Homo-oligomer: A and B are copies of this chain.
Amino acid sequence: MADPLRIVLVAPRNPLNIGAAARAMSNFGFNQMRLVNPYEVAFKEARSAVHSQYILENAEVFPTIAESVADCSLVAGTTAAARRDLHVPLYRLEPAGELLRGHLVAGKPAALLFGSEKFGLSNEDMSHCHWLLRIPSREEHGSMNLGQAVAICLYELRRDADAAAHRFEPAPTVSAEDLERITSLLLDLLNRSGYVHATTTESTELKVRRLVRRLGLPAADTDTWLGIFRQILWKIGKTPTP
């Protein structure tokens, strides 16, 4: 099945941006690029770039927005700010991504429009859109770089909120038995190196036991730590006792 999402660049001027948009599409597994009235030289130059060439080779060029989105049952536009009466709903990217995903999972074609680097989408361009979305960047800064805006939108579409659920895959932690072996060795080491005073041996033992347990030692590192302490003990054993 052809990818139902069309990425439509309206009047792009900079070959680097066209190439960056194509690269982001390839990164996130989208391949339907459409260009409306692109600056001819820029498009040619972008096509000669190495990255994501298959996307640019298959990119379709249209003279008007209406033709570029004719087969789409949802047309969403991107805009930098709520700076004028937009006439259509404006969503932040997070919920807009959800709306788009909902449309696309059914295999229904949708278009996502990005305006030119300099002016964004015009009011006339926006009149083709069912709704608009805004990447939640600082309003003071104004518009984003085109290639970055495309990358962020596509990331949001591929984002997997559930990935956050299994976020911690904690390495298996060390067993109590191994923790105690490490504790004894370390205590031995502290005794032999003169860190522990005879009068405080007992409280030191508790302190060290807790210290070791607060480390959050991964099980896989146990042998390494045991080896380190044994080696140091061996070396200390070699030194003449005073």
Classify the secondary structure of A's interface with B.
helix
Q: Which residue of B lies closest to A96 (CB)?
A: B167
- The answer to whether A94 touches B159 (Cβ under 8 A) is yes
A27 contacts which chain B residues (CB < 8 A)? 135, 137-138, 141, 144, 148
Q: Across the interface, name the chain B residue whose C-beta is closest to A24.
A: B148
Closest approach, in angstroms, between the C-beta of A100 and any C-beta of chain B?
12
Shortest Cβ gap from A195 to chain B (Å)? 27
CA–CA, A94 and B94, complex, Å? 13
Q: How many residues of A contact B (CB 8 A)?
A: 41
Check B23 against A145 for contact (C-beta < 8 Å). Answer: yes
Given A23-B148, A151-B151, A161 and B161 touching (CB < 8 A)?
yes
CB-CB under 8 A from A148, the residues of chain B are 20, 23-24, 27, 147-148, 151
Given contacts A92-B163, A94-B160, A163-B95, contact A138 B29 (CB under 8 A): yes
- The chain B residue with its CB closest to the CB of A91 is B167
- Which chain B residue lies CB-closest to A143? B27
Task: Give 24 CB contacts A-B under 8 Å.
Answer: A20-B145, A23-B148, A24-B145, A24-B148, A26-B141, A28-B138, A29-B138, A52-B141, A89-B171, A91-B167, A94-B159, A94-B161, A94-B163, A94-B164, A95-B163, A95-B164, A95-B167, A99-B167, A136-B155, A136-B160, A152-B152, A152-B155, A155-B156, A161-B161
* In the A-B complex, the 4 residue pairs with the closest CB atoms: A95-B167, A148-B151, A27-B137, A94-B163
New A-B pairs, 13, CB < 8 Å, besides A93-B155, A94-B164: A20-B145, A20-B147, A23-B145, A89-B169, A94-B159, A94-B167, A95-B163, A98-B164, A99-B167, A137-B158, A148-B148, A152-B152, A155-B155
